[in-house]
C-alpha cells in the first residue's frame, strides 16, 4: 500500500498531501482584497514554495484548477499565469467561476504535481 504523507495539517485540511510520487496542494489564495494580478502572483509564489518543500517544482505540475470569483478577471489572471508557466510545461488546466471563501478573495488555485 502506498504511503500517504500530510504536511501543514490542521483540523480542516493539509496544505500538502504526498501519495507515492503524486503531490496534491490545498487551494491557494492570495492577499485578500488585493487586485487579481497580485492575488494570482501570491498564489503562484505559495505553489512554488510548497512544491519545493516536497522536492518538486512548477515544471512537474500535472493539473491546475483555477477558480475566479468573476470571469471578468480572466485576462488579468492569465497575464500573470502565462509569465509564470515555463515554456513547454503547461499543465492540464481548467478555469471556472465560483464564490470563494470570502468576497475579498478573487482567485484560488488547486494543483496536482509529480515529484
Delineate the domains of the chain, giving CATH numbers in brackets.
4-114 (3.30.1330.40)
For the segment 82-109, the average pLDDT, to the nearest whole number, is: 97
Q: What is the pLDDT of residue 85?
A: 98
| Dihedral sign, Cα of residue 100, residue 103, residue 105, residue 106 | positive
Strands, sheet with 4-9, edge to edge from the N-terminal-most edge strand: 4-9, 14-19, 22-29, 107-114, 61-68, 92-97
Residue 106's alpha-carbon distances to 45, 47, 95, in angstroms, are 16, 17, 13
Scanning the structure block, which residue is given the C-alpha cell 494543483?
A: 111
Q: What is the pLDDT of residue 88?
A: 97
Q: Which three cell numbers stand for residue 94?
A: 481548467
Give the pLDDT band (50/70/90) at residue 82: very high
Amino acid at each position: 500500500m502506498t504511503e500517504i504523507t500530510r504536511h501543514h495539517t490542521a483540523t480542516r485540511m493539509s496544505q500538502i498531501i504526498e501519495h507515492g510520487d503524486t503531490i496534491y496542494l490545498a487551494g491557494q489564495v492570495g492577499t485578500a482584497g488585493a487586485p487579481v494580478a497580485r492575488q494570482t502572483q501570491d498564489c503562484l509564489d505559495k505553489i512554488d514554495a510548497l512544491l519545493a518543500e516536497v522536492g518538486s517544482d512548477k515544471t512537474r505540475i500535472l493539473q491546475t484548477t483555477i477558480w475566479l470569483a468573476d470571469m471578468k478577471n480572466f485576462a488579468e489572471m492569465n497575464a500573470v499565469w502565462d509569465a509564470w508557466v515555463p515554456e513547454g510545461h503547461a499543465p492540464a488546466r481548467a478555469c471556472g467561476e465560483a464564490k470563494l471563501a470570502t468576497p475579498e478573495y478573487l482567485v484560488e488555485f488547486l494543483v496536482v504535481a509529480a515529484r
